[in-house]
Structure 1
Amino acid sequence: MTQHLSEADVRGIAEYTRIGLTAEEVVTMTADLNAIIDSLAPITEFDLDGVEPTFHPI
């Protein structure tokens, strides 16, 4: 698993969003968020050349 976010990043996000996390929760959340980011990797394999961005106001 690639380390996209560090524990310091997760602490900063938690502080910004005013979520209190224990040291153990920071470790768990860091692993979970990195796993989520890794699971999105297949999206980068799509050929999107020439595909116009879309906008949905709803």
Structure 2
Amino acid sequence: MSLTADDVKKIAHLARLGIEEQDVASYAKDLSGMLDLMTRMSDLDTDGVEPMAHPMDQVQRLRADAVTEQDNREKFQAIAPQVEAGLYLVPKVIE
């Protein structure tokens, strides 16, 4: 697929991008190349290929899900200006 200069200008307008006139041809070439790549990729047979979360065969290290801090809620609410039913009350700022 090959984009024209008018196509690039329309896309730029829709995306609210300002493109200099001298750069339109370069953008058209680059975008056309990307679209051609996507077309070629969609033609590939991917039956039997399992989806992957990461292209490398890696496992993410996870930390243990353990509580590491003590509960300071009562202490913090004791010094808060206004608290009601365990919630902090703040002044209304939006009508």
TM-score (norm 2): 0.42
Give the % identical residues: 24
Matched, 1:46 2:45: yes
The alignment covers a number of residue pairs equal to 46
Greater RCO between the two (CA within 8 Å, min separation 6)? Answer: 1
Provide the C-alpha distance between the structure 2 equivalents of 1:15 and 1:42, rounded to a whole number of angstroms.
28
Unpaired runs of 5+ in structure 1?
A: 49-58
Distance 2:33 2:26 in 1: 11
Deviations 1:1-58 (A, max 9, x none): x52x21101100101111010112111110000011111213213276xxxxxxxxxx
Coordinate RMSD, CA, aligned: 1.7
AA in 1 matched with 2:22: E
Give 4+ residue runs of structure 1 displaced > 3 Å after superposition: none
More helix, by proportion:
1
Structure 2 unaligned regions, length at least 5: 48-95
Q: Which has the larger radius of gyration?
A: 2
Q: Indicate whether 1:19 and 2:35 are aligned.
A: no
